[in-house]
């Protein structure tokens, strides 16, 4: 029999680790992997070239500034075709897909996202030569997005 | 009327890389939230943003529910010639908004 105090402490310990129950975490991880597979197909995703700028500690998950910068000459022969942003723990992993071209001059895209829970945020750049490059950042979220139920 | 704000420099040197910032007033309802009575609030988001420079598409973005309310998207382009930049947002429930900005290239 678990005491009331023990139960509350258990709740606190779990909340510190993550705000979601473990089975949902697994489902969302699978959705995250699936969303990436849909973009890259069978191609290898290498680390590097991409810089994802996101604060490591997020007070409010409802509006998180994200910036992605990719090293590329952005010429007609060698440019970034698309930038994809994913989060691991949101109900849907996709955040933004930006299609660029040589006329962008510089491969830099910025936005504000909702992030549901502590986990990985990943940016993948699709190059004109068909290669994929990525950068993942682990972020800690104290106030989750998507949990503002009952406000309306 | 949908309210949008776009920040494009009024004047730029030829070949200069300029930053364009766009903001659209929109709640970006995710479709995952519930009311106090437990009913799911239907999704209502902006799906795409397309930017054209003198009629040529230079940037296109697909937005998902994970984009924050009043979506801010910023990107860059090369100032090639004087002309207009057209921005068009489209979304759920027939949402559509557009804006145009002129740029002088010297």
B1 CA to chain A: closest CA distance, Å?
Answer: 23
Instruction: Dump pLDDT digits (tens) for B7-21.
Output: 999 999 999 999 999
Residues 6 or more apart whose CB falls under 8 angstroms from that of A68 comprise A50, A51, A52, A53, A83, A85, A107, A108, A109, A110, A123, A125, A135
Query: Quick check: is A79 in a domain?
Result: yes
| Cα B31 to Cα A63: distance, rounded to the nearest angstrom | 17
Average pLDDT value for residue range A53-72? 92
Q: Which residues of A touch B61 (CB under 8 A)?
A: 96-99, 109
Determine contact, residues A90/A61, Cβ cutoff 8 Å: no
ipTM score assigned to the predicted complex: 0.90
Q: What is the DSSP letter of A104?
A: G
CB contact under 8 A, A152 and B68: no
Query: Quick check: is A128 in a domain?
Result: yes
> How many domains, in total, are found in chain B?
1
Query: Quick check: is A11 in a domain?
Result: no
Backbone torsion region of residue B13, taken as left when φ is above 0, otherwise alpha when ψ lies between -120 and 50, otherwise beta = beta
Question: How many CB pairs below 8 A link A and B?
Answer: 105
Tell me the CATH number at A95: 2.60.40.2470
Determine contact, residues B45/B64, Cβ cutoff 8 Å: yes
| Cα B1 to Cα B36: distance, rounded to the nearest angstrom | 29
Query: Quick check: is A33 in a domain?
Result: no
Sign of CA dihedral B58, A49, B73, B46: positive
Q: Which residues of B touch A95 (CB under 8 A)?
A: 64, 66-67
For residue A144, is pLDDT > 70?
A: yes
What is the structure's pLDDT at A147?
Answer: 60
* Between residues B2 and B67, the one the model is more confident about: B67
Residue span of the structural domain in which B12 resides: 4-31+39-105
| Cα B103 to Cα B53: distance, rounded to the nearest angstrom | 10
Average pLDDT value over all residues in chain B: 93
Q: Which residues of B touch A79 (CB under 8 A)?
A: none
List the single best residue of A31, A105, A145 to mutate versus B (max B Cβ within 10 A).
Answer: A105
A38 phi and psi angles, rounded to 5 deg = -60, -35
pTM, two decimal places? 0.85
Residues 6 or more apart whose CB falls under 8 angstroms from that of B3 comprise B24, B25, B97
B20 CA to chain A: closest CA distance, Å?
Answer: 10
| Cα A87 to Cα B64: distance, rounded to the nearest angstrom | 11
Residue span of the structural domain in which A121 resides: 43-152
| Cα B1 to Cα A124: distance, rounded to the nearest angstrom | 35
Query: Quick check: is A25 in a domain?
Result: no
Average pLDDT value for residue range A128-136? 94
Query: Quick check: is A15 in a domain?
Result: no
Query: Quick check: is A116 in a domain?
Result: yes
The two three-digit tokens of residue A45, written as one number: 């995703």
For residue B86, is pLDDT > 70?
A: yes
List the single best residue of B25, B32, B63, B68 to mutate versus A (max A Cβ within 10 A).
Answer: B68
Tell me the CATH number at B94: 2.60.40.10
CB contact under 8 A, A96 and B64: yes
What is the structure's pLDDT at A5?
Answer: 64
> How many domains, in total, are found in chain A?
1
CB contact under 8 A, B78 and A104: yes
């Amino acid at each position: 029999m678990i005491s009331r105090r023990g139960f509350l402490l258990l709740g606190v310990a779990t909340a510190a680790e993550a705000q979601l129950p473990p089975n949902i975490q697994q489902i969302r991880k699978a959705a995250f992997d699936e969303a990436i597979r849909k973009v890259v197909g069978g191609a290898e995703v290498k680390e590097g070239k991409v810089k994802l700028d996101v604060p490591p500690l997020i007070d409010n998950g409802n509006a998180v500034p994200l910036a992605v910068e990719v090293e590329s000459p952005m010429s007609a022969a060698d440019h970034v075709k698309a930038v994809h942003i994913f989060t691991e723990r949101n109900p849907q992993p996709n955040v933004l897909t930006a299609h660029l071209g040589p006329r962008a001059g510089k491969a830099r895209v910025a936005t504000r996202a909702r992030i549901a829970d502590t986990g990985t945020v990943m940016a993948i750049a699709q190059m004109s030569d068909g290669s994929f490059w990525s950068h993942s950042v682990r972020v800690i979220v104290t106030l989750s997005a998507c949990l503002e139920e009952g406000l309306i | 009327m949908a309210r949008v704000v776009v920040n494009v420099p009024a004047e730029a040197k030829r070949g200069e890389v300029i930053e364009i910032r766009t903001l659209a007033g929109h709640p970006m309802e995710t479709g995952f939230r519930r009311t106090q009575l437990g009913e799911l609030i239907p999704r209502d988001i902006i799906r795409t943003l397309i930017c054209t420079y003198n009629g040529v598409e230079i940037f296109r973005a697909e937005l998902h529910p994970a984009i924050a309310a009043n979506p801010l998207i910023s990107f860059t382009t090369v100032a090639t010639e004087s002309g207009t930049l057209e921005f068009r947002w489209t979304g759920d429930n027939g949402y559509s908004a557009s804006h145009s900005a002129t740029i002088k290239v010297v």
